[in-house]
C-alpha cells in the first residue's frame, strides 16, 4: 500500500488510454468522482510523477472493525501501475519491493509452522498467519468484556424479578392459604409459582430479543452513518437469542420458587395469622 495524492484532472490534456483504477465509495463521495472520470494520482500534493487514470468502478471497502473510525479514502490500482508511480527512479531495486504478499496455503499446511520455516529461510521478513490467536485478538477481549457486562445485567435482572415475585407472593398470601386449606399440596403450589416465574422470564426474554431485533437495524444505521462504513455493529443471531432464553428460564423458576418459599413452608394457619 502507498499513500498517494489524488488530483482531480481538470485542464490537463488526457492520455490516450489511461489505466483503470477503482476508488472507494468514500473517496468518490469526498472528491465527487464518478465512473468514467479521469484523475491524476501523484506521490505528493505537488503532483510529482503524476499519472492519469480512468475510474472504472467504485467499490465498498471491506469493513474492518479495527479501522472503523478511519476515513477509507482508497483507490485500487494494478500492481505495475503502483510501482510505476511510487518506485524511486534512482533505485532500480525499488521496483522489486512490495510491502506485503498474501499467500493461500495448500490444504493441511499449518500456518504457524509455515511462517516460522519461511522466516528462518528468509531472514528479515515477517510472516504472520492472518488468523489471530486468542492472545493477540482484541475482539476476544471485547467478547469477554461483553460477557461480564451481561452477567452484571443478569444479576440486576434477577434481583428485579425476585422483588416482583415477592410482591406477587405477598399479594396472594390469603389465596395460597385457602388453596392449602382445600387440600392442594405445597408441591403443586410450588410447581405453579415455578411455572409462573418461568413464563414471566420467558416472556421477558422473548420481549428483550424482539426489542433487540427491532433496534438492531436502527443501531446499525446510526453507527454506519456516524462512521461512514458498511460494518455491522449489532447482529442478533439465533444462538444469542437461544442463549438469552436458556439463561432466563432457570433464573425465572428460581425467582418464583425463592419468592414463594417462605410463604409455602409455613403451617397453613400461620398464613392467616392464627
Partner 1 sequence: MTSFALAWRTAKRYRARTLLAIAGVAVIGALLFDMLLLSRGLLLSFADLLDSSGFDIRVVSGEGLAARLPIADSARLADDIRRLPDVEHVLMIRIEPATVLATGKPPRGISLIGSSDAEQSWRIVKGSSLGSPAAAAEACPVLVTRPLAAALGLTPGDSVSINVRPPGVASALPAVACRIFGIADFAFATNDELTAVTTMEAFRQAMGGGQPDADLVLVSSKPGAPPGRALRAIAGLRTSLRAYSNEDVVAQFNRNGFAYFRQISLVLSSLTMVFAFLLVATLLTVSINQRLGEIAALRALGIGRPRIASMLLWESALLVGGGGLLALPLGQLLALVLDRILRQMPGIPERMHFFVFEPRALAIHLVLLMFTAAAAAVYPVWLTARLPIADTLRREVLG
Q: Which residues bind partner 1 (CB under 8 A)?
A: 68-70, 93, 97, 99, 123-124, 126, 135-138, 141-142, 144-145, 148-149, 152-153, 155-157, 159-160, 162-164, 166-167, 170-171, 223, 227
Q: In angstroms, what is the minimal distance from the CB of 162 to partner 1?
A: 5
Pick between residue 33 and residue 201 the one whose CB is nearest to partner 1.
Answer: 201
State the minimum distance, in angstroms, from the CB of residue 55 to partner 1.
27
> Using alpha carbons only, what angle is made at residue 168 by residues 248 and 267, rounded to the nearest 5 degrees?
110
Query: Which among 94, 86, 71 has a CA at the least distance from the CA of 41?
Result: 86
Taking the least distance from each CB to partner 1, the nearer of 145 and 250 is 145
Residue 32 to residues 23, 182, 226, Cα–Cα distance (Å)? 11, 81, 20
Residue placing its CB nearer to partner 1 in the complex, 14 or 142? 142
* Identity of the residue, 78 or 173, whose beta carbon is nearer to partner 1 in the bound complex: 173
d(CA 113, CA 68): 32
Q: How far is the CB of 97 from partner 1 (least distance, A)?
A: 7
Q: What is the DSSP letter of 254?
A: H
**Smallest separation, CB 227 to partner 1 (Å):** 8
Q: Is the dihedral of CA 46, 50, 56, 62 positive or negative?
A: negative
The residue among 123 and 183 lying less far from partner 1, judged by its C-beta, is 123
Smallest separation (angstroms) from partner 1 to the CB of 220: 13
- Please identify, using beta-carbon distances, which residue of 38 and 87 lies nearer to partner 1: 87
Which three three-digit cell numbers place residue 88? 524511486
| Residue 248 near residue 201, CB atoms below 8 Å | yes
Contacts of 6 (CB under 8 A, 6+ apart): 27, 31, 39, 40, 41, 73, 75
Question: Within the chain, how many helices (H) and strands (E) appear?
Answer: 8, 5
Question: Cα(242)–Cα(178) distance, rounded to whole angstroms?
Answer: 39
Q: Please, what is the minimum distance in Å from the beta carbon of residue 100 to partner 1?
A: 10
> Which position has the grid cell 414463594?
260
Amino acid at each position: 500500500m502507498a499513500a498517494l495524492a489524488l488530483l482531480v484532472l481538470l485542464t490537463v490534456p488526457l492520455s490516450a488510454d489511461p489505466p483503470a483504477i477503482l476508488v472507494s465509495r468514500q473517496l468518490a463521495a469526498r472528491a465527487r468522482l464518478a465512473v468514467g472520470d479521469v484523475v491524476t494520482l501523484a506521490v505528493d500534493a505537488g503532483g510529482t510523477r503524476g499519472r492519469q487514470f480512468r475510474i472504472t468502478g467504485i467499490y465498498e471497502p471491506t469493513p474492518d472493525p479495527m479501522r472503523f473510525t478511519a476515513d477509507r479514502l482508497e483507490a485500487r490500482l494494478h500492481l505495475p501501475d503502483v510501482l510505476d508511480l511510487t518506485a524511486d527512479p534512482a533505485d532500480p531495486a525499488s521496483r522489486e519491493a512490495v510491502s506485503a504478499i498474501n499467500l493461500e496455503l495448500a490444504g493441511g499446511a499449518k500456518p504457524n509452522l509455515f511462517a516460522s520455516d519461511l522466516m528462518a529461510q528468509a531472514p528479515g521478513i515477517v510472516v504472520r498467519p492472518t488468523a489471530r490467536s486468542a492472545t493477540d485478538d482484541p475482539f476476544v477481549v471485547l467478547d469477554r468484556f461483553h460477557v461480564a457486562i451481561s452477567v452484571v445485567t443478569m444479576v440486576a435482572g434477577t434481583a428485579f424479578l425476585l422483588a416482583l415475585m415477592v410482591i406477587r407472593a405477598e399479594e396472594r398470601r390469603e389465596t395460597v392459604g385457602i388453596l392449602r386449606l382445600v387440600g392442594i399440596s405445597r408441591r403443586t403450589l410450588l410447581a405453579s409459582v415455578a411455572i409462573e416465574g418461568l413464563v414471566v422470564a420467558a416472556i421477558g426474554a422473548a420481549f428483550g430479543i424482539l426489542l433487540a431485533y427491532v433496534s438492531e437495524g436502527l443501531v446499525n444505521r446510526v453507527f454506519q452513518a456516524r462512521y461512514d462504513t458498511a460494518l455491522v455493529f449489532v447482529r442478533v443471531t439465533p444462538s444469542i437469542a437461544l442463549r438469552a432464553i436458556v439463561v432466563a428460564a432457570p433464573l425465572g423458576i428460581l425467582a418464583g420458587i425463592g419468592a414463594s418459599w417462605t410463604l409455602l413452608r409455613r403451617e397453613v394457619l400461620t398464613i392467616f395469622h392464627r
